[in-house]
Amino acid sequence: MNAKELITRVMALQPQLIAQLQKALASQQLAHAFLFTGPAGRGQELVADWLAMRLMCQHVTPDGQPDGTCDQCQRIMQHEHPDVIEVQPDGKSIKVDQVRFLKDEFTKTAVEGQQKIFIVAGADTMTTSAANGLLKFIEEPAQGQTAILIAENRSQILPTIISRTQVINFSAVSDEQFKEELLAMGYTAKQIPLVQSLTDSTVVAEEWLTDDWFEHATQATIDLVSMILKNSDQAFTLVQTVYVPLALDAAHNKTLLMMLGQAWRDILLLKTGVQDSRFTDEWANAAQHFKTETLLAVISIVLAAPQRLEKNINFQTTLEATILESQFKLAGLS
């Protein structure tokens, strides 16, 4: 993505927020420290880059946008600007050495010009002591310094930091804009309704495209539910041969269970004729063989599956127990 593309995408994702920032810049009332919060995929990092470009740009446009072509904008987009200091978690958290580096940079003047910007992604992964170490620099910023902290979980940020930053809660993008983002990523129009039922995060949705994971997971769900409807023992074989390889980590495991829950909701809707399935209309005939209360009971079983994972029951055991209980319910044995 180049600078021009970033500007276009930011305006599509968060137009109201950009308008607010432009107004603050025009009136010279921009805060010295921000806390961007909200689930990943709502444009937090993109807005941080946009703000850095806007503050550094040599030729701001008449409508208050960075031009995207000057040397400053280009180097910020390439993450090579010496006065835009970026830190992100090393592994699962921001390490002590990274915090020391930040504190040291806070005491230095800008290499070029008078502006220095700090972008700290994953700020909610800092330890309390590390966060306290940055607090005094946020409380007493040097002239021309702007700090942008990005955190998914506001509750993990020290109250003292929250009180000294301008907190911006990133809202979900509109359904239509999210659909456009998904199409641009490579999702098909048929896949998009299912994606939208599972997440509103562009970051998460993009991860699912790796190695065609989403396509494989969707087909696995169709095959598994079809086997459960037929009370086939092959459902358990499918878990071991197909589902376990798709269970890459906790996030993917949760998504697989969410997808399974969505499949059973679709079956219920197919029975009542409310809508077409996000998976396959072939379930429509099978759905008519079961009472509505039976399907509702199966949905309850499937929706309870994530709670097993939270009790440290492994994914395969959780899924197998869910299948067994569902088949018993469909057969009228429980």
CATH of the domain at 236: 1.20.272
pLDDT of residue 73: 93
Confirm whether 86 is domain-assigned: yes
pTM above 0.95, yes or no: no
Question: What's the pLDDT tens digit per position in 114-163?
Answer: 889 999 999 998 877 778 878 877 877 778 899 999 998 888 888 888 98
pLDDT at 333 over 70: no
pLDDT band at residue 312, thresholds of 50, 70 and 90? confident
- Please count the structural domains in the chain: 2
Is residue 253 domain-shared with residue 147, that is, in the same domain?
no
Q: Is 91 left (phi over 0), alpha (psi -120 to 50) or beta?
A: left
Confirm whether 184 is domain-assigned: no
DSSP codes of every residue in 52-67: HHHHH-SS--TTS---
* Beta strands 84-87 and 116-121, pairing class: parallel
Is residue 248 domain-shared with residue 143, that is, in the same domain?
no
Boundaries of domain holding 149? 1-167
pLDDT of residue 203: 83
pLDDT at 85 over 60: yes
Percent of the chain surpassing pLDDT 70: 99
Q: Between these two residues, 95 and 276, which has the higher pLDDT value?
A: 95
pLDDT at 275 over 70: no
Confirm whether 175 is domain-assigned: no
pLDDT at 6 over 70: yes
Percent of the chain surpassing pLDDT 90: 56
Is residue 224 domain-shared with residue 163, that is, in the same domain?
no
Is residue 219 domain-shared with residue 124, that is, in the same domain?
no
Total residue length of the chain: 334
Mean confidence (pLDDT) of the chain: 89
Is residue 33 domain-shared with residue 126, that is, in the same domain?
yes
pLDDT of residue 272: 81
Confirm whether 85 is domain-assigned: yes
Confirm whether 173 is domain-assigned: no
pLDDT of residue 217: 97
Of the ranges 43-47, 58-62, 128-132, which one carries the lowest mean pLDDT score?
128-132
pLDDT of residue 219: 96
Segment of 46-55, 86-95, 131-140, 147-156 carrying the highest mean pLDDT: 46-55
* CA 108 to chain CA mean position, Å: 34
pLDDT at 334 over 60: no
Is residue 132 domain-shared with residue 78, that is, in the same domain?
yes
DSSP codes of every residue in 103-155: HHHHTSPPSSTT-EEEEEETGGGS-HHHHHHHHHHHHSPPTTEEEEEEES-GG
pLDDT of residue 198: 92
Is residue 57 domain-shared with residue 141, that is, in the same domain?
yes
Confirm whether 242 is domain-assigned: yes
Residues 6+ apart with CB under 8 A from 248: 213
Q: Between these two residues, 256 and 153, which has the higher pLDDT value?
A: 256
pLDDT of residue 133: 77
pLDDT of residue 66: 93
Confirm whether 125 is domain-assigned: yes
Question: What's the pLDDT tens digit per position in 106-115?
Answer: 888 889 888 8
